Amino acid sequence: MFNTYFQGPNMLLEVESSQLVLVDYQLKLLPAMKDGASVWKRAEILARTAQLLKVPVWATEQNPSGLGETSPEIRQHCQKILAKMAFSAVEEGLGEWLSPTAPAVPKGNARSLPRHLQKPPEPENGPSVVIAGCEAHVCLMQTALDLLEDEFEVWVVTDACASRTDRDRDAAFDRLAGAGAELLTTEMVLFEWLRSAENPDFKQVQTWIKDLV
């Protein structure tokens, strides 16, 4: 029988293996984006919840000297922010931030070590990267495609992504889905991270979710 536990990506997002990447939520881009205020609000709630649940939060800034900094509501929740000129943040080193640190190889003569210590075990799946940003069809899409090529699990938060036009945004989602990315919404991410109304952080996150309406 086909065993889904060891084949392909997880069906539900796992908070323990997640990392959040927020692409180019810069102040000078906001006015040009379709539904920009709503998109920026969702990115803020994603970042705030991730920080609460101890999910690492990374951000990128495209040509910050020209387009400005990440909005302060989002910036305050980020561990690090990558300034870049390439449209794909992976080309500027983002993947090195996301890759888990390899376990240290024990010192000594390898032949004297037990077999299970001679090589670190390989993970079943790559890290889960929850990603959102703008423009959806440029920096967000190119970054996500490069992460897929590098064998990360990529989860694109569609309602927290923006382009100047719906046509460009939707074309990006079609291409990303075809390449193997999972498409989901902000609320889907938050509830899959929480998993239960008994989660001690549920009530706090619920108050933030109400701000999305």
Q: How far apart are CA 187 and CA 148, in angstroms?
A: 23
pTM of full prediction above 0.75: yes
Q: Which domains does the chain have, with CATH numbers?
A: 15-97+131-210 (3.40.50.850)
The torsion of the CA quartet 25, 29, 31, 33, rounded to 10 degrees, works out to: -80
pLDDT (tens, 9 = 90+) of the chain, 213 residues, equals 334 333 455 689 999 999 999 999 999 999 999 999 999 999 999 999 999 999 999 999 999 999 999 999 999 999 999 999 999 999 999 999 997 644 444 444 444 455 445 544 444 456 899 999 999 999 999 999 999 999 999 999 999 999 999 999 999 999 999 999 999 999 999 999 999 999 999 999 999 999 886
